[in-house]
Amino acid sequence: MSAPEPCLVLDGSARAGVRVGVLSGGRWTGQGVSADGALEGLFGCVESALAEAELSLGDIRSFALCVGPGSVLGIRIAALAVRSWSALEPRPIFVWESLAALACSTLVAGEKGPFLVAVESRLKRWHALEVAADGSLGAPFEAEAAQLNAAGRRLFASGEVAAAALPAHIPVPAPWSALPVLLGRPGFLREEARPDALNVAQDFATWSGERHRADA
């Protein structure tokens, strides 16, 4: 499933910062980036991305929203925006997941499974996802840094916080630059008329590294 273009892509899932892009012809034709939270920065990013692409909101044929895991507030602000725009002029809404994007961009860069990818969660915990030897993706889970460090898997993470909490991790860039490729991959997007944040705590099982240790 691919999103009709031009597609407005929104990511408010980061703990700090917002990204918005206009996807057309399989590439970014306009982008907006803000270091502010979604409440302060989202709509300015939308305006910047549309202006660079020389389009108006009425020219957009679909929306693609990151539903996390990540900042619940940022995701819900972005979700409310696309739901409102779609209500005013019906257009399909698609969703994608931040951990899946990080895992897929790591695979696209040439890494082979098995490995873990992780992004910072709340209260010094981490959202993570396991990639199998065949490249298939597991379900997101929450874990303590110590569990990930002892998991017996290569661990890929992006962001400055990972350096202190996950000393054995392999740094990788955020997946934004790879998204134009990823958004066109089968199964990466799913259509969702009323998207909401994925990473509500009860959606995730607490992970036990013992089940995934290399010597298990």
- Residue 45 phi/psi, 5° resolution? -65, -40
Q: Are residues 140 and 163 in the same domain?
A: yes
**What 8-state DSSP symbol labels residue 137?**
B
**Span 56-73, mean pLDDT?**
95
User: Max Cα separation, the chain?
Assistant: 55
The answer on pLDDT for 19 being more than 90 is: yes
Q: Are residues 56 and 110 in the same domain?
A: no
Q: Are residues 42 and 128 in the same domain?
A: no
Least confident of 33-37, 63-67, 157-161, 179-183: 157-161
Model pTM score = 0.89
Q: What is the pLDDT of residue 216?
A: 37
Q: Helix, strand, coil proportions of the chain in percent (round to 5)?
A: 35, 25, 40
The residue range of the domain holding 90 is 7-97+175-198
Q: Are residues 91 and 54 in the same domain?
A: yes
Q: Are residues 164 and 181 in the same domain?
A: no
Quick: pLDDT tens for 147-182: 999 999 999 998 888 989 999 999 999 999 999 999
Distance of CA 131 to the CA centre of its chain: 16
